[in-house]
Amino acid sequence: MSTADELVLAIHLGDLNWLGRVLASDSRRALSPLGGRHGTRTPLHVVTDWPGYWPNGPQIVQLLLAAGANPDARDPEPHSEAALHWAASNDDAEVARALIDGGADVELPDGSIGTPLENAVGYGCWNVARLLVERGAKVQTLWVAAALGLLDRVEELLTTGEADTDLISQAFWHACNAGQRRTAELLLDRGANLNWQPDYARGTALDAAQQRGTQQQNVIEWLRERGAGTADQLE
């Protein structure tokens, strides 16, 4: 087994002692791309990779950062992201908190959707989204403010921005996706199209309102993988 394979396996198992030994043999492993079949990902990308929630994830982040890992390092591949973008996309709030505590930039741009906050909101990762706002992430766009139910910020953006019908309808769609009824009511009163559909997701606001957040869907998939059944299935 290569050193990179050992490091990845230690992270996935949450084995802090094993990981510590690997890093003690060469601390550069904490910040270097893994190479080989792991490509250009860094160890911080491994601990934040989908589906997230690896055992001892926050402690592993702390260990890697203490060994010199750069919390804002990007996978050099096209459309690359930093570890906080990845944690924001699977709603692993504990790992995201460890990254932020370790200096990760909450405003880092150019994720798959945008900033970590935009990733979190766009993928229905409400726990990380709330954490990012608490830690100072700026709410710059109407659709993000609507999804977070920030009525005062929505009003401010409607007043000071140039929100056309499409932007208001987009914000309405995201408010419904996040279960933010008061925000949705406000935006509908301001001219949102009730049945507007985005080009980056399937369905209307009603379809969006019936979707599960990423963390909930993640748990459902985890339970199914382990053979859990519903009450109806067990009858």
Q: Is 179 exposed, middle or buried (0-12, 13-18, 19+ CB in 10 A)?
A: middle
Q: Which CATH superfamily is domain 139-225 in?
A: Ankyrin repeat-containing domain (1.25.40.20)
Residue spans of the domains in the chain: they are 1-137, 139-225
Residues 6+ apart with CB under 8 A from 2: 36
Q: According to the model, what pLDDT value does residue 135 have? A: 97
- Residue pLDDT, tens place only, 20-55: 998 888 888 888 888 888 877 899 999 999 999 999
Of 228, 227, 214, the C-alpha closest to 52 is: 214
Is 1-137 a CATH 1.10.10.10 domain?
no
Residue 220 phi, psi dihedral angles, 5° rounding: -60, -45
- Residue pLDDT, tens place only, 51-102: 999 999 999 999 999 999 999 998 766 568 999 999 999 999 999 999 999 9
Amino acid at 19: L
Residue 103 phi, psi dihedral angles, 5° rounding: 105, 5
Look at the block and give the residue holding tokens 């769609």. 173
List beta partners, residue 74. 82
Residue 123, token pair as written in the block: 């993928």
Residues 6+ apart with CB under 8 A from 134: none
Mean residue pLDDT across the chain:
93
Give 227's DSSP letter: T
List beta partners, residue 82. 74
